[in-house]
Amino acid sequence: MKRLLDLTLGIVTSIGGFLEAGSIITAVQGGAQFGYQLLWAVAVGTLGLMLLVEQSGRLAAVSGRTVGDALRERFGINFFVIPLVIGLLVSFLVLASEIGGVALALQMATGIGFQWWAMPVAFAGWFLLWKGTFGVVEKGSSLLGLVTIAFIVAALKLHPDWGRVGAGLIPTLPAHDGPRYWYIAVSILGASISPYLYMFYSSGAVEDGWGVSDLPTNRATAVLGMSFGGVLSAAVLIVAALVFLPRGIQVDRYEQSALLLTPVLGHPGFVLFLASLGIACFGATVEITLSMAYLLAQGLGWDWSENAKPRDNTRFSLAYTVAILLAGAVMAAGVDPLRLTSFSMMLTAASLPVTVIPMLVLMNDEALVGEHRNRWFGNVALGALSVLATAVLLSAVPLQIIGGG
């Protein structure tokens, strides 16, 4: 019975935590400009994330090592600095854009500019980390994140042609605006397969004391949780395709996306969009901050635990404090949230090889995962993902130049 409860909670947290600034805006832009055509990118991103989450959870449950631990221990400091520096840099930019997302939601609700909200939001996130435990952080933001189900409701109310929706799951070439199409496709991948998500997940598994007996739960959480999350992203895209595309509304400014739910759900739609954006981004803010601190602390051998009090892990607490307040300062300085979000999604996508390819080694290491190492399917899938990640890295610079904006 307890296992069923854990499982349900695990799936629920995965759904609630899925959407954030990047996935919302990329899905909206994708739907507004290309209709259902980019659904395949959402699907591929979701599958990729599912794979990485299941594997990182398995790694943590079987070996008791998080991804951060394993990267340092298996590859040594010389290699570890690469994912460390790149991971921290990219995560920092994503973190700033998430804080921007919350600040924007508050701006649209109150009329007070987002720069003024940036530091209060950062402080609120810091306070939650300071006083809260891992369970509170994870479950709290995710349960609240269920407000994003409004997108699914809106999508259903719009009665899409499900045949055409299904056709969007098959990759097709765009009829117009090729560079822009691929730019958004890659950004969707970066938004879905956020490294912070599966690194955070493995730390959570260790914080919760997962063992080999939790492997079925891990698999179910990864598959079902991420699937539902993917459905959420798809719903955002579908609504944008049905609301923005026919009206010819492109999202050049973040705030235009708030019009997404109003034609379908009226005034509640406006409120729900702002709530979804604010809550989803706030949850992401806290999780990314934690995952940055986890990576640093685990890699360098500091004590780390969100469950413990800050005084017991001072270097860890200092790390997340500095990270979140600095990111808040970036948004308070008035950086354009949309530009930053788009750019950081692209950067995330380009940096995927650094985190995905090592997993191929880790998940086949007998010393680490023993008999639970990857079967042929896991390796083939992970290998395909690595190839995709490398292709994305190589195309990132040209895409940013000709497709970005």
Partner 1 sequence: MPTHTAAVRQKDRGRRTWLFWVTVWLAAGCGSKTPPKQLESAESWAATTRELAIQRRVGSVGRAYTEDMLEAGRRDVREIATAIDLSKLPPDARAAVPLALARLDTLMRQTAESVRRGDVVALGLDAAAADALGDTLRALRTKAGGE
Partner 2 sequence: MEFRVVHDLLDKPVLDDERRNIGRVDGVVLELRRGAAPRVAAFEIGGRVWARRLGPRMARWVEWMGKRWPAVANGVTRIAMRDVRHVGITVSVKCDGRRLPTLAWEQWLRRRVIGRIPGA
Q: Please tell me the distance from the alpha carbon of residue 328 to that of residue 122, in angstroms, as a whole number.
A: 5
Alpha carbon 268 to its chain's center? 26
Q: What, of partner 1, partner 2, none, does residue 108 touch, CB below 5 to 8 Å by kind?
A: partner 1
Contact with partner 1 (CB under 8 A): which of 10, 22, 45, 269?
269
Cβ atoms of residues 74 and 368 within 8 Å: yes
Q: Does 307 bind partner 2 (CB under 8 A)?
A: no
Q: What, of partner 1, partner 2, none, does residue 317 touch, CB below 5 to 8 Å by kind?
A: partner 2
Beta carbon nearer to partner 1, 110 or 307: 110
Q: Please tell me the distance from the alpha carbon of residue 98 to that of residue 115, in angstroms, as a whole number.
A: 13
Contact with partner 2 (CB under 8 A): which of 1, 2, 4, 78?
78
Binding mask 17-56 for partner 2 (x = CB under 8 A): ----------------------------------------
Contact with partner 1 (CB under 8 A): which of 164, 247, 391, 394?
247
Q: Does 397 bind partner 1 (CB under 8 A)?
A: yes
Q: Does 211 bind partner 2 (CB under 8 A)?
A: no
Give the shortest CB-170-to-partner 2 separation in angstroms.
45
Q: What, of partner 1, partner 2, none, does residue 249 touch, CB below 5 to 8 Å by kind?
A: partner 1
Q: Does 395 bind partner 1 (CB under 8 A)?
A: no
Structure tokens at 257: 């996306």
Give the shortest CB-235-to-partner 2 separation in angstroms.
39
Residue 46's Cβ-count burial label (10 Å; 0-12, 13-18, 19+) is buried
CB contact set of 206 (below 8 Å; sequence gap of 6+): 60, 64, 65, 66
Q: What is the number of alpha carbons within 13 Å of residue 105 lying toward its C-beta?
A: 23
CB contact set of 349 (below 8 Å; sequence gap of 6+): 186, 187, 189, 190, 193, 389, 392, 396
Contact with partner 2 (CB under 8 A): which of 2, 159, 176, 311?
311
Cβ atoms of residues 9 and 331 within 8 Å: no
Q: Please tell me the distance from the alpha carbon of residue 104 to that of residue 24, in angstroms, as a whole number.
A: 13
Q: Please tell me the distance from the alpha carbon of residue 258 to that of residue 151, in angstroms, as a whole number.
A: 12
Give the shortest CB-126-to-partner 2 separation in angstroms.
10
Q: Does 287 bind partner 2 (CB under 8 A)?
A: no
Contact with partner 2 (CB under 8 A): which of 110, 112, 131, 397?
131
Stretch that binds partner 2, among 42-50, 182-190, 215-223, 315-323 (CB under 8 A): 315-323
Task: Write 307-313 long-range contacts (CB < 8 A, 24+).
Answer: 307/133, 307/134, 307/135, 307/207, 310/130
Query: What residues line the site for partner 1 (CB under 8 A)?
Result: 107-111, 175-176, 247-250, 252-253, 255-256, 258-259, 262-263, 266-267, 269-270, 339, 343, 396-397, 400-405
Query: What residues line the site for partner 2 (CB under 8 A)?
Result: 63-65, 69, 72-73, 76-78, 80-81, 130-131, 300-303, 309-311, 313-315, 317-318
